[in-house]
Structure 1
Amino acid sequence: MQRKSADQGESTAGHSSGASALVRRRVPTLTIVSHPDLQRAGERALLEVMETLGVPMSVSRNGPDFARPGASGARPLDDPFLSRTPLMLEPRPHGGLRLMTPMQGTHVRVGDLTVRSGGVELTQAELGAGVPLVLAERVVLLLHLTSVPGPRAGGDLGLVGPSEQLQQLRDDILRVADLQVPVLIRGETGTGKELVARAIHEHGPRRSGPFVSVNLGALSKDLVASELFGAQRGAYTGASRDREGFFRAAHGGTLLLDEVGEAPSEVQTALLRVLETGEVYPVGSHVPVPVDVRLVAATDADLETRIAERLFKAPLLHRLAGFELRVPALRERREDMGPLFLHFARRELAVIGEAHRLMAGDIRGEPWLPASLVARLLRYAWPGNVRQLHNVTRQLVIGSRGLSQLRVEAHLEQLLDSATTPVGGRALPEPALRWADVDALGRTLMPGVSIRRRPSDVGEQELLATLRASGWDLQATAVRLGISRSSVYLLIEKSTLLRSAGEVSPEELTRCFHECAGDVDEMAQRLEVSRRALLRRIRELGLDGV
């Protein structure tokens, strides 16, 4: 039986326990996705006081405290470039929030858009989808809803991430691991179904036995029966010796049948017989061979639809699904992206001999992982899930060998811009801000925003007008123009109408700083330069602009 989550209306890791029907209270939560101290990814702050008492919560370098789920120690964000003047999160009717920033506080982006003094209204549905907050272009937080956690046990089981979806999956793995019932693991391609199967094996009584994994979709249809059940010598052309088969190779352990939905009809019949009798018939033999195997099956296919199309046997589904687990898609657990990215980055940096890059460094330096890149990773739809994130991480690491920051190459930039989810939002006239329907995954709806264009199609006057309309926020300008952020930089460099922050004299910058009372947004608009570059100049001159 599959469990239905109260907020998503879709199955998660399913079982028949009455405990699965309990609805946990969900509260707004801030999770660190990226921080100049990279090891802090995955820490979170549950805003329970705001939820229970209905009082506003402040967020600054000094609070609230963040900690890993289940850990005892907690600490604030502590980034020296974040303002001590807090931004405020105020509860609204019907479960929403209002995000407000002070005039001289930390610069905050929500998705692609800078938050002005009027603030931003966030609905409960938007919080459910997850809202990325970029603070001072250095720290990236995910504002989302999560359940108040209960007791945790069993470790991470080899699954990386603090999300409640993943913790629910861990809990269900431990519920079934010591039993002999077959398990069916469902999930999209690339979600890590084999890792789940290994966790079941390693935490059950068969952990000392073999773990054998076979991808049914990769086997030749002519040989799949002999690969699974074995074959006698001479049973078919080319069978010059007896073949053991995967079932007998897994005797005393666990056999994972991946892509079980691709099994041919005759193999499905044989699998059903094995599940019922505990015996296999090698091809070419009429003598059954007993096998002692814990069977785990995995699929990304809709087996119910395949049954309706007469491509899969309903009795086999019933026997395979003694207990069902669902592995969540990456887009459903965005708070796991930071720890996952670092997990893969460590692996790839070790391969190229640059593991030192993830050691504790200068907290005042430029982050190795740019906040703008993190925001784009959060918005991407990840159709290939964790496997695709691993591949992108590898390309980013290798393409940035020896550089102080990760660099996004052209093909990755095109990829990350090609399919986005509505967590970045669509802009309405300020101060209001609304996100697209949370069910419309895989696309963004942003009125007034151009489709993808060639940078050469953007004229100087259009560039200047868009920069002014976007408050000199280069990421927002890129979105409005339909080009990449790096292309905006190049256009500014080539323009005869614009100047860079580096061309502003120290005297002019200092005078403007005092006239604007340190308001970096107002300074950027008055000087007509990039806000991020301006902030860097302010730091270089020793002015307290944050």
Structure 2
Amino acid sequence: MLLTLAGHPSLRRIGERVELVGLAGGVELSRRTPELRTTDGRVTGPLLDPYISRSPLMLRASEAGDVVIDPMGAGSGVTVDAMQLTGPLTVTAERLARGVVLELGGRVVLLLHAVVGGEEPAPKYGLVGESAGIQQVRREITQAAGLPVPVLIRGPSGAGKELVARALHAASPRAARSYVAINLAALNPGTAIAELFGHVRGSFTGALQSRPGYFREADGGTLFLDEIGEASIEVQAMLLRVLESGEVQPIGGAPARRVDVRVIAATDANLDAAIESGAFRPSLLHRLAGHELVVPPLRDRLDDVPRLLVHFLEHELRRAGQSELFEAMTRDCSRELPTAVMTRLLRYAWPGNVRQLSNVVRRMVGALLAGGDVLGVVEALAAGTVGRAHPAAPTSMPTSTGEPEPGTQVSDAELTAAMRANDWQIAATARQLGVSRNTLYARMKRTGKVRKARDLPRDELAGLYAQQGGDLAAMAGLLGVSLRALQLRLRELELVP
């Protein structure tokens, strides 16, 4: 059993923890006990906040594996999962597996949670967190990095699959060679095969010059295929051929070329269901899954929420030129981050996972720098502005939410404003809204007010090109599409070289 420090006046202490040994006989929790440690084992001492009672809570294990939280003389300033603690409370093993939020004196937030441990830690690989789930991911990266087989990364949207793919490449013998990342959902279906495997000049309409393709660009290194479940059947057949033969056949009659590429694929789709429906080839899945790695959702690594918050907070404040503010908050953040902020974040379901948390922190920093209400940003989670939360006093946390991702409920005006702010780029807009690209595409289709460059008709583009004197940036702004997507569409229609 662990106690993880999730909220404290000193931001630098967030993430410290203590293993509760001897729970059968009872463990005291107060300002003076127990002693906490950093995740690398350095002793940092007890909570030592003068606003927390000297009189201890008592945490005691029952024979059934539950934990009894007894306020004893700790007074009235203790809440458990946002409910006032007025007498001994039995917390079930099921709740402990999810994590129980304790708030002390309105100053400190602790997460009481069961943990499966005992295995040797692995290198961090740039992944933020110390939860059992993220530690397992690190161990699997260590195991898979040097294997000469493809890797399939599974996990929900926004959980960090691309970061894991980069870590696999960086830890592999190919680290010094090329790393090429492609989102298959973002490829134009009409040219996806040519973009992946290459083509010769004149092999199809818009092929004004020969291109090597992404596989040859990644030769000797790693090719990351994100959202592999979105690949068309035709692309799947070509991928299978390359994985089996090691040869790439460009479109247009050029000779096949051997390539040495380590393929890493990722998906949040149910590929087994896609196989049953005929949308995905079972032979390709078997080839891709030389080693499978699962990235857990954020709701299953709840003790990493405070660590990720500090990480994103530092990044956003330094990017805004507010390093001094961040350093001040490491000493005392009680004004900027009241305990209610972390309590709410820990009790939220996080359907958008780490991507959504990053987006929430970005909004928090915006409110902070504007002199606004940071707590109001977090409370908007419960209101449904950036997703939906659990009820105020949940008795269970679902293993999966059947609810839409945050962003699916964004108004047409908010969607358009977000896309304009990101120069109509799909990836950047999806990050801002805390959703996957697939969700954003679906939302764009539903509104009917935002178009894709690949759907723009030739006559409209030709007329606007002449009107704007070939100024593609101006055209992109008027059409509401990204400049890169517009360039690709114009080349496809042979309107530009």
Q: Return the offset for 1:359.
A: 1.8
- The 1-side partners of 2:402 and 2:72 are apart by 34
Q: Return the offset for 1:360.
A: 5.0
Gap runs ≥5 in structure 2: 404-497
SS at match of 2:64: helix
Q: Return the offset for 1:73.
A: 2.8
- Is 2:104 the partner of 1:135? yes
Amino acid at match of 1:227: E
- The 2-side partners of 1:346 and 1:106 are apart by 34
Tell me if the contact between 1:36 and 1:138 (Cα under 8 Å) persists in the aligned partners.
Answer: yes
- The 2-side partners of 1:418 and 1:236 are apart by 44
- The 2-side partners of 1:61 and 1:35 are apart by 12
Deviations 1:155-200 (A, max 9, x none): x111101101100100110111112111000010001101000000
CA gap of 1:65–1:404, structure 2 versus 1, over 3 A, is farther
CA gap of 1:312–1:361, structure 2 versus 1, over 3 A, is closer
- The 2-side partners of 1:215 and 1:440 are apart by 25
SS at match of 1:89: strand
**Equivalent residue for 2:40?**
70
**Equivalent residue for 2:277?**
309
- The 2-side partners of 1:412 and 1:48 are apart by 36
CA gap of 1:44–1:362, structure 2 versus 1, over 3 A, is closer
Deviations 1:335-367 (A, max 9, x none): 000110111111111122222223256967734
- Is 2:408 the partner of 1:436? no
- Identify the match of residue 47 of structure 1 among 14, 20, 44: 20
- The 1-side partners of 2:146 and 2:299 are apart by 30
Tell me if the contact between 1:83 and 1:106 (Cα under 8 Å) persists in the aligned partners.
Answer: no
CA gap of 1:172–1:137, structure 2 versus 1, over 3 A, is same
Tell me if the contact between 2:55 and 2:73 (Cα under 8 Å) persists in the aligned partners.
Answer: no
Amino acid at match of 2:154: R
- The 2-side partners of 1:308 and 1:49 are apart by 50
Gap runs ≥5 in structure 1: 1-27, 427-434, 444-546
Q: Return the offset for 1:124.
A: 0.3
- Is 2:5 the partner of 1:32? yes
- The 2-side partners of 1:336 and 1:220 are apart by 37
Tell me if the contact between 1:172 and 1:325 (Cα under 8 Å) persists in the aligned partners.
Answer: yes
CA gap of 1:241–1:404, structure 2 versus 1, over 3 A, is closer
- Identify the match of residue 92 of structure 1 among 62, 83, 104: 62
Aligned Cα root-mean-square deviation (Å): 2.2
- The 1-side partners of 2:386 and 2:6 are apart by 20
Q: Return the offset for 1:411.
A: 4.7
Q: Percent identity among equivalent residues?
A: 43
- TM-score, L = length of structure 2: 0.77
1:265-284 alignment, distance < 5 Å: 265-284=233-252
**Equivalent residue for 2:485?**
none
CA gap of 1:241–1:31, structure 2 versus 1, over 3 A, is same
Per mean C-alpha deviation after superposition, the further-off stretch among 76-85 and 163-172 is 76-85
Amino acid at match of 2:236: Q
- TM-score, L = length of structure 1: 0.70
CA gap of 1:439–1:203, structure 2 versus 1, over 3 A, is closer
Amino acid at match of 1:145: A
SS at match of 2:374: coil
CA gap of 1:32–1:416, structure 2 versus 1, over 3 A, is farther
CA gap of 1:72–1:157, structure 2 versus 1, over 3 A, is same
- The 2-side partners of 1:385 and 1:365 are apart by 25
**Equivalent residue for 1:395?**
363
Tell me if the contact between 1:82 and 1:106 (Cα under 8 Å) persists in the aligned partners.
Answer: no
SS at match of 2:94: helix
Q: Return the offset for 1:102.
A: 2.8
Amino acid at match of 1:88: M
- Is 2:117 the partner of 1:148? yes
**Equivalent residue for 1:339?**
307
- Identify the match of residue 152 of structure 2 among 184, 187, 191: 184
**Equivalent residue for 1:82?**
52
Tell me if the contact between 1:183 and 1:297 (Cα under 8 Å) persists in the aligned partners.
Answer: yes
**Equivalent residue for 2:182?**
214
- Is 2:265 the partner of 1:290? no
Q: Return the offset for 1:145.
A: 0.5
Amino acid at match of 1:66: L
CA gap of 1:215–1:359, structure 2 versus 1, over 3 A, is same
1:517-536 alignment, distance < 5 Å: none
Q: Return the offset for 1:127.
A: 0.4
CA gap of 1:125–1:305, structure 2 versus 1, over 3 A, is same
- The 2-side partners of 1:221 and 1:361 are apart by 48
Deviations 1:86-112 (A, max 9, x none): 111111131001111134546111122
**Equivalent residue for 2:207?**
239
- The 2-side partners of 1:236 and 1:257 are apart by 24
CA gap of 1:411–1:44, structure 2 versus 1, over 3 A, is closer
- The 2-side partners of 1:280 and 1:376 are apart by 51
1:98-497 alignment, distance < 5 Å: 98-105=68-75, 107-116=77-86, 118-154=87-123, 156-359=124-327, 366-401=334-369, 403=371, 406-409=374-377, 411=380, 414-415=383-384, 419-421=388-390, 425-426=393-394, 435-436=395-396, 439=399
Amino acid at match of 2:100: V
Deviations 1:195-251 (A, max 9, x none): 000000001110100111000011111110001001110010110110111101111
Deviations 1:245-298 (A, max 9, x none): 110111111100000011110111110110111111011125211111110000
Q: Return the offset for 1:33.
A: 1.3
CA gap of 1:362–1:441, structure 2 versus 1, over 3 A, is closer
CA gap of 1:416–1:59, structure 2 versus 1, over 3 A, is farther
Q: Return the offset for 1:416.
A: 7.2
Tell me if the contact between 1:31 and 1:42 (Cα under 8 Å) persists in the aligned partners.
Answer: yes
Structure number with larger C-alpha Rg: 1
- The 2-side partners of 1:66 and 1:106 are apart by 24
Tell me if the contact between 1:247 and 1:293 (Cα under 8 Å) persists in the aligned partners.
Answer: yes
Amino acid at match of 2:327: M
Tell me if the contact between 2:382 and 2:389 (Cα under 8 Å) persists in the aligned partners.
Answer: no
Tell me if the contact between 2:351 and 2:401 (Cα under 8 Å) persists in the aligned partners.
Answer: no
CA gap of 1:187–1:439, structure 2 versus 1, over 3 A, is closer
Q: Return the offset for 1:441.
A: 5.4
Tell me if the contact between 1:217 and 1:263 (Cα under 8 Å) persists in the aligned partners.
Answer: yes
**Equivalent residue for 1:467?**
none
Tell me if the contact between 1:129 and 1:438 (Cα under 8 Å) persists in the aligned partners.
Answer: no
- The 2-side partners of 1:316 and 1:177 are apart by 21
Deviations 1:289-343 (A, max 9, x none): 1111110000000000000000000010000000000001011101000110111
Per mean C-alpha deviation after superposition, the further-off stretch among 325-334 and 356-365 is 356-365
SS at match of 1:353: coil
- The 2-side partners of 1:164 and 1:360 are apart by 31
